[in-house]
Amino acid sequence: MFAEIYQRLLGFYCDSPEQRYQSLMKRCPDLQEKLSLKEIAQFHKVLVMVWFYD
């Protein structure tokens, strides 16, 4: 259990946001059905930019 937590923490700091997202989707494939992409991005500390068009 400690090794798994350590790997996740290490990945959080060393992996790119895309790698973190792919790992999360591999562990929890149905997560997108429960959370919005914005919430998942915030979890991964990804800057969410919203563009407004006139």
pLDDT at 1: 77
Burial class (CB in 10 A: 0-12, 13-18, 19+), 20: buried
- Of 52, 51, 34, nearest in space to 43 by CA: 34
Q: Which amino acid is at 35?
A: L
Closest CA to 21 of 6, 31, 10: 31
Model-level pTM?
A: 0.59
DSSP assignment letter at 29: T
Find, among 25, 17, 26, the residue nearest to 48 by Cα. Answer: 17
User: Residue 48's pLDDT is what?
Assistant: 54
Residue of 17 and 45 predicted with greater confidence: 17
